[in-house]
Amino acid sequence: MEFAKRKSTALSALAGEGVDKSPKGSLDVPIIPLLDAINAHPSYFTTSSCSGRISILSHAAPNDQSNHKNKKKKKAGDWVFITHEFADLETVTNLLFNPSFSSDDSQDTMVFRFEPFILAVDCIDVTSAHSLVAMAISCGFRESGISSVSKRIMVAIRCSIRLEVPLGEMGRMMVSPEYVRYLVGIANEKMAANRKRTDAFLGLFTASKGPADVSPLENDDKQTECMEEGNVLDLEARQLKSLSSTGAAEQDAPIHRGVQSLHREEGKSDENHDNEEFKSWSASTDKCSVSANKMKILDLPVGKLFRWGHSASLLNDSNSRRILVFGGFGGVGRHSRQNDSLLLDPRTGMLKVLHAVGPPSPRIGHTSSVIVDVYFLLSGCVFRHRHAAAVVDTKVYVHGGLYHELIYPCMHVLDTETMQWTEIDTKGEQPCARHSHSMVAAGSQLFVFGGYDGATALGDLYSFDTNICLWKKVKTTGRNPSARFSHSMFIYKRYLGIVGGCPVTKQHQGIFLFDLQTHVWKHVETEFVNYPMLVRSTVSIVGDDLVMVGGGASCYAFGTKFNEPMQVDCCLLTSLASDRHADSVAVEPLTNPEETKVGNGTCVAGLKGLTDDENLHYMACAHATNGNSRAFHDQRIAKDIVEVKPKKWALQIRRRYAKLGKDIVKKIGWLDTGRKVYKTEDEQTVFLPVTEKCHTWFLDKVPCSDNLVESPKASDSMAFCMAKGFSLDGASLPELQNLLLACGASLVEDGIALMRRQPRSPQKILREAVMSLIHQKGLPPNLLEQLPSRWERLGNIVVLPSLAFNQKIWDSVSAELWPIVARSLGAARLARQGKVAATGTRDSTLEILVGDNGWVDHHENGIFYSFDSTQCMFSWGNLSEKLRMSKLDCRSEIIVDLFAGIGYFVLPFLVKAGAKLVYACEWNPHALNALRKNVAANFVSDRCIILDGDNRIVAPQGVADRVCLGLLPTSEDSWPTAVRALKPQGGVLHVHGNVKDSEEDSWSLYVVQSLQEIAKSEGRQWQVQLEHLQRVKWYAPHIRHLVADVKCSLALW
């Protein structure tokens, strides 16, 4: 009654002629339809709102009250400008920079602001409030939540796309008109995004008739409304909805009914459900479940285990198998990052604190591994985190992960016997860069599932053979787990298991098991208490028990949620999985029948004397002619048998179902990717090229027809399934096949067989494109001789050689030429190499032809380089030398690089060779900027000292075990500096130089003799000798880039 009275009073005031209590005094026009829709719902009414506004606010200076004498006036300030629509650039600029406005002598601070839509809603009960919050969050209002549940249940709907920028003081703007126009442009973009979200919210609220009046199982109509809403709600909103609706029915139930209706529309009666097709399909929807039991924790409060993002490792000690839990976010009292170590005995429930000496810093998103009796904790928190790790023998393999915004695709391995990290040079079907995934070891095989690639959740499964370093995407059958991240994975006997993850759905409440022998996925429903949020939790196998520790999340609407530790009986879990029918259908190969039934019951005689393939073709065409074998026979005998031998097959399907049909055949593996999809002239029928397996299944199971008239039941059923957002990811093979039939698909011979174009080389594509331009512009054909045959790639820049397109005639068509070249080579940016500037800083003269700037991110040998290619040189030809340096064992060495550049050799020494310390000398300011970024990005800043300036002045003396002199064409001016940098007992010098191929021996001798003389003049009693001469590359015709490894050691005389 109280709610009804409040609503009546509020709506009466809203309908009155007087102004409302807002400063504006009226409702914002853009959101009036949304307010009307909410107020028309019996469970809600609005109390305050703003559609979003762009404004300039004047704040009084703290010590200036001259303009604010009214003490009751709000301290927020005065509006100088405000609009609830898009702001006009010139209006705002003219206002701020008007002479009369600028002459104001007050010291008020001017602030430019954009404030998004905000709405306060009074709700009849908590359930209605939860539903409204979930709907709002799904439309982008991610800061929405329940703001009060005491006297009134209030919901605040809002988001965070705000903007607030100080402009200066009244009469003294600190920004330019151009900057103000820039701000107005950003604010207008935010206003557009704001409008899009409010329109989506209105559309969703109107379409669903409000979220609170729908019960999923009341009747089919309301069930359809609920599932239609589910199509719009994003993953996060569905998480909230599934958590709040603890009494809701299983989400799979509507899909179950939908697929059942497919069988009914095919003409199958309820009594016919015992046929083989239905049996194999319905097996995947049989309900079987296992219970997850709470663990009783002794000795310490169970709240000690309330955390997520922690690590858990199984200790194989002599007394028991205990779990060591470390770190994570949570803990008793105020939640924070933890660095405590807890020992949990799952058999007894005893929980103890392990008082370790010198624990690591508090962290989250790390991993831990136990090898024999040594515990390894890997990164987390500020450094690389959200990676996956697994142990094989004495090695810890680490894949993926996140550092700031950089997502790693690489695999590293730590050899715990040598304590040496190595990036593995992998091959095969590489998984994309990802984080928040999971990885487990089964023998010498690693398995990786899911994760997040920065844009979407992933649902792929990869295996990695540690013996041959080969990645492979695993082909699976059965009901695949949906895409997810922040889940957990385990190995038990012959099964790989997946638990939980994000986005949170009802499906994630179950456990998926993957049979490592048959490669079939099984889904076992799991009965949990209180609907746990198994996000960033850990799982461990202890004996025959699956032990789940931690997990949870923070939510604006529901606060912070943690899970209690639980156990699942793995024996029961796997027995339920093995008892279930396989989610696949075995198809018998057709023989050469004398008489075979076509789907509608017509018997068609096979032609005697034909081969098996020819009779298969005969039977297929009989299907396509509705069993009219005579009509086909007349066509058949008029042609030579060889001509009609089956070649290619296609599925004929209505255009409205073409996308769904293509997704289904692609999911099953029936799509022939070597041919093109094509349509009829009226574009109403689509032909999907399919493989022989699809053809065989249709012959064996399905009555085919070229008549695509659908029954009303089929159309209704398809609309039913499509409205409910039927997920192909969670469907079994029989479900997909039945859904394909419901689309009205039929098998026909592909008489057109449009083959896809064979791949062409980039050189050929470039030549054809430039040739077309030459003909169009009337240029000499011999210009094609200047096309480059090779080029380099730096990040997403394709770098052409300096001689490419270098004749002046190309300048006349440069506007058309460079975009053509970039497109032909698949380049986002295009550049042309120039000669390295003959200056002391050796600047790059790279010319950008397509693109705005030359900054690139380049990965090489597991090392990250970032630099401005127009200012800093980079040579692919030095890769072999960098690899050679990276293979040195420099773990106990101090190295001086006299010509560090962007880190060409500094980074291989640090990242790969493991140098103890590197002094990096450089005087090019652009290279120095890149060098500082690169040592930080590769996590070696703590072992690198960067010296800015001429190495002859700033280089250290008497400290180095090794000195690198990587300057071309010669570094001779710094040879004395290099000698002084070595330790008194000597070391190794890597001397680079460009040398004529006929003078290699004489140059080597000259280097050794010169260094011997320099050492003597410096008072060093050394024996100087050539240890190795490395040929790096051809620098020019008959000019080699050489590196002399010169060993300096104390003389024995």
Q: DSSP letters of 813-824?
A: GHHHHHHHHHHH
Q: What is the pLDDT of residue 320?
A: 61
**Amino acid letter at 967?**
L
Q: What is the pLDDT of residue 804?
A: 86
Q: Is residue 734 classed as helix, strand or coil in its secondary structure?
A: helix
CA-atom Rg of the chain in angstroms? 36
Q: Residue 619 CB: number of other CB atoms within 10 A?
A: 23
| pLDDT (average), residues 1004-1016 | 94
**Chain CA centroid to CA 265, Å:** 40
Closest CA to 692 of 618, 639, 613: 613
- E-strand stretches of 789-898: 792-794, 797-800, 829-832, 847-850, 855-860, 863-868, 894-897
681 by Cβ neighbours in 10 Å (0-12 / 13-18 / 19+) ranks as exposed
pLDDT at 490 over 70: yes
| pLDDT (average), residues 521-549 | 86
Percent of all residues in the chain with a pLDDT value above 90, rounded to a whole number: 32
Residue 334: partners with Cβ closer than 8 Å, 6 or more residues away: none
d(CA 688, CA 750): 9
Region for residue 1042 given its phi and psi (left: phi exceeds 0; alpha: psi -120 to 50; beta: otherwise): beta
Q: What is the pLDDT of residue 759?
A: 63
Q: Are 665 and 651 in contact (CB under 8 A)?
A: yes
> What helix, strand, coil percent values describe the chain, rounded to 5?
30, 30, 40
Q: What is the pLDDT of residue 839?
A: 55
Q: What is the pLDDT of residue 1034?
A: 86
pLDDT classification of 61: cutoffs 50, 70, 90: low
pLDDT tens-digit map of 569-618: 888 777 776 654 433 333 233 333 333 333 333 333 333 333 333 343 33
Higher-confidence position of 230 and 894: 894
Number of H helices, E strands in the chain: 25, 60
Q: With the CA atoms of 825, 826, 830 and 834 taken in that order, what torsion angle do they form, in degrees rounded to the nearest 10?
A: -40
Higher-confidence position of 946 and 721: 946
Q: Residue 1028 CB: number of other CB atoms within 10 A?
A: 12
Percent of all residues in the chain with a pLDDT value above 70, rounded to a whole number: 75
d(CA 305, CA 296): 12
Q: What is the pLDDT of residue 62?
A: 54
**Chain CA centroid to CA 189, Å:** 26
Q: Are 852 and 870 in contact (CB under 8 A)?
A: no
Closest CA to 439 of 451, 450, 448: 448
| pLDDT (average), residues 431-437 | 93
What are the residues facing 308 on neighbouring strands?
329
pLDDT classification of 964: cutoffs 50, 70, 90: very high
How many CA atoms are closer than 13 Å to the CA of 854, on its beta-carbon side? Answer: 20
| pLDDT (average), residues 83-106 | 77
Q: What is the pLDDT of residue 764?
A: 83
Closest CA to 992 of 1025, 1050, 1035, 957: 1035
What are the residues facing 1045 on neighbouring strands?
990, 1028
| pLDDT (average), residues 114-125 | 92
Matching residue, tokens 């905000």: 118
Q: In what order do the strands lie in the sheet with 53-59?
A: 78-83, 53-59, 109-115, 163-169, 172-173
pLDDT at 978 over 90: yes
**How far separated are the first and last CA of the chain, in Å rounded?**
108
**Amino acid letter at 673?**
T
Higher-confidence position of 952 and 743: 952
Which of 524-533, 667-676, 719-728 shows the lowest per-residue confidence on average (mean pLDDT)? 719-728
pLDDT at 237 over 60: no
Query: Across all residues in the chain, what is the average pLDDT?
Result: 77
pLDDT at 1046 over 80: yes
pLDDT tens-digit map of 861-902: 889 888 888 888 777 678 889 999 999 999 999 999 999 999
What are the residues facing 860 on neighbouring strands?
863
pLDDT tens-digit map of 804-848: 888 888 888 888 899 989 888 888 889 888 765 555 555 667 888
* Angle ∠(1031,1034,1037) on CA atoms, nearest 5: 135
pLDDT at 85 over 70: yes
pLDDT tens-digit map of 174-225: 888 889 888 999 999 999 999 999 988 888 888 765 544 333 223 333 322 2
pLDDT classification of 317: cutoffs 50, 70, 90: low
d(CA 850, CA 825): 12
d(CA 897, CA 884): 16
Region for residue 896 given its phi and psi (left: phi exceeds 0; alpha: psi -120 to 50; beta: otherwise): beta
Q: What is the pLDDT of residue 860?
A: 84
pLDDT tens-digit map of 8-58: 888 887 776 544 556 566 788 888 889 989 998 999 999 989 999 999 988
pLDDT at 544 over 80: yes
Closest CA to 365 of 401, 407, 319: 401
Higher-confidence position of 996 and 2: 996
d(CA 1017, CA 1028): 24
Q: Are 59 and 111 in contact (CB under 8 A)?
A: yes
- E-strand stretches of 42-101: 44-50, 53-59, 78-83
d(CA 1011, CA 994): 18
Q: What is this structure's pTM?
A: 0.39
| pLDDT (average), residues 902-914 | 94
pLDDT at 709 over 80: no
Q: What is the pLDDT of residue 356?
A: 84
d(CA 350, CA 499): 24
- E-strand stretches of 861-927: 863-868, 894-897, 917-922
Higher-confidence position of 879 and 907: 907
| pLDDT (average), residues 503-529 | 81
| pLDDT (average), residues 332-361 | 86
pLDDT classification of 70: cutoffs 50, 70, 90: very low
